[in-house]
Amino acid sequence: MASFHAELYINGQAYPVLWCALEFQQQIQERGRVSARVRQGPLLLQLDVPQDDDTLVSWAATLHKKLSGHIIFYDTSQRSPHESIHFEEAECVGYQESFDVLRGEGGSYACSLTITAPEFVLGSGSAGGPAAVSSFLPAAAPPVPSANLAAKALEVAETKAERYQKRLRLLQSGRNKVADMDQLISSGGPVAGPAAAPASKGPLGRLGSLLTGNSNSAVAEAGASPLVADRNLLQKAVDRLTFNNVAVERARLSQHAYQFTTTADPSGLLLPTFTGEVPEGWAALQVWDDKKTGFAAALYDSNFEQPNRKVLAFRGTNPTEWGDIKADLTQALGIPTKQYDQAIELARNLKDQYGAGLDIVQDAGLDMAGHSLGGGLAAAASVVTGAKGYTFNAAGLHPNSVKPFGITKEAMRAAAPGLIDNVYSNRDPLNGLQNHMGGLIPKSVGTPHVLSKAGFHPIGDVVAAIETEKDADTATIQKYTRP
């Protein structure tokens, strides 16, 4: 997996970027035809505030001030420019700044920028061409960024297990920081502001003079956020990253469950052929593929998670498989379906084998996972077996699907929130239909986790959205815990 370091170049200055996001939107008609031009932006950035440079704060404070610049993403393994975002005649329409408390005395400034421009041009790092990164770099600039990139380059050599352990340590640092903040708050600490930030030399002080007396500016107010708000922001980042650190792995496995075909050897043993690589850090132990009913699933094991739980991932709807379409339609109407019965029986058998968790090193339990129809199968298997479940843009679960296994409608509704984490996009058409049909078709079950920028229904969009949340929360925790 590649690792990148980004820098903002503007007015001859370079600013290391902690986090950035740029969205493109394309409106289409019901049949997929384009109905409007692509909409871009805004460009969102988070970076440390330079103490002796007024470029950014002046840009934010001056109405309709237009600047041109670019962001360059460096591939840390190659230490070379990889991609870029270029903009002309851009305005900084949003600027939020805060002084973050560190352990002991002192702290650091961080700011978030919102940039709009008539057009954002995406470029490559290859030489030549109008959008090449080399055309943006000044002639005298060094071929690579400085020590920031050298430090980042070390990350690419880390294994999945090492990255996982580093993230666990970061989460623990975040929890420790929250505890420190709680102690400050309970002892009557400076709850009106995060710290005694420098008044005369800090960026906010400079911004005040640039705003020429506009005391009601949202920019000036942003620096006075209370310690309680900072504590809550950090706690939210810790909680969400803790969940996503596990959920994204189940989402990847749900995606991989679509990526195999099988052939039977003379003894009837199914031999899988994978069309996509097994996710890093995981091994596929066994697959099931019933070509008559359309049921398919795979059992995975990791070499990095602690505790080491097996994951049974169910394949979702294949539009070309009549068995999948039939299972979707009949289950929604409460008619018993073979695929749901197969999923529950398989989960029961594997739960007997792995679910006890007696050996904390080898067999710490069994999780269910799935996307779309696979999410409905995973939910049914979780409710019946009591195993933990992770579902993604899942089909709704009808009570009749679990009733033959001794689970009443009331028991299903009571158990699901504690067993199943139900992750879905706020633009997922399946959940949109299920949630607004007045009970005519069943809703997906479990504790909801709504993704705001996860595309529509495909599982790949869900994985990307969770990774985006992970990056944002990692940056937030690092901001509050860096030494």
Q: Where are the domains of the chain?
A: 4-157, 164-240, 246-481
Q: Please give the helix or strand (H or E) that residue 21 lies within, else none.
A: strand 13-25
Q: What is the pLDDT of residue 31?
A: 64
DSSP labels, 392-408: ESPPP--GGGTGGGT--
Of 33, 104, 92, 38, which is closest to residue 64 (Cα–Cα)?
92
Sign of the C-alpha dihedral computed for residues 460, 425, 468 and 248 taken in this order: negative
CB 435 within 8 A of CB 394: no
Q: How far from the centroid of its chain's Cα atoms is residue 250's Cα?
A: 13
**230 and 480 in contact (C-beta within 8 Å)?**
yes
Kindly give, in sequence order, each residue whose CB lies less than 8 Å from that of residue 378, ignoring residues fewer than 6 positions away.
Answer: 312, 313, 314, 343, 368, 369, 370, 389, 390, 391, 394, 420
Per-residue pLDDT at 429: 77
Strands 282-289 and 296-302, bridge-based pairing: antiparallel
Which CATH code of 3.30.420, 3.40.50, 3.15.10, 3.30.160 fits the domain covering 246-481?
3.40.50
Q: Which residues of the chain have pLDDT under 50?
A: 1, 78, 103-105, 126-131, 133, 138-147, 149-150, 152-156, 191-201, 212-224, 319-327, 329, 333, 356-363
pTM over 0.85: no
Do domains 4-157 and 246-481 share one topology? The answer is no
The closest of 462, 22, 77, 2 to 258, measured between CA atoms, is 462
- The pLDDT, as a whole number, for residue 270 is 79
Q: Please list the residues that pair with 121 across neighbouring strands.
A: 86
The full 3-state SS of 101-162, as one line of letters, equals ECCCCCEEEEEEEEEECCCEEEEECCCCCCCCHHHCCCCCCCCCCCHHHHHHHHHHHCCHHH
Half-sphere exposure of residue 121: CA atoms within 13 angstroms, side-chain side: 17
Assign domain 4-157 to a CATH class: mainly beta
Helix, strand, coil percent values for the chain (each to nearest 5): 35, 25, 35
State the pLDDT at residue 34.
65
Residue 155: per-residue pLDDT: 47
Q: Are 121 and 103 spatial neighbours (Cβ–Cβ below 8 Å)? A: no
* Whole-number Å distance between alpha carbons of 444 and 428: 12
DSSP string, 317-360: --TT-HHHHHHHHHHHTT---HHHHHHHHHHHHHHHHHTT--ST
Per-residue model confidence (pLDDT) at position 198 = 47
Q: How far is CA 200 from CA 51, 54, 107, 256, 381, in A?
A: 11, 14, 16, 56, 62
**3-class DSSP assignment, residue 390:** strand
pLDDT, tens digit, 9 for 90 and up, residues 99-115:
665 544 456 677 888 99
Q: What's the confidence (pLDDT) of residue 130? A: 42
Place of tokens 């033959």: 404
Query: Residue 312 in contact with residue 389, Cβ under 8 Å?
Result: no
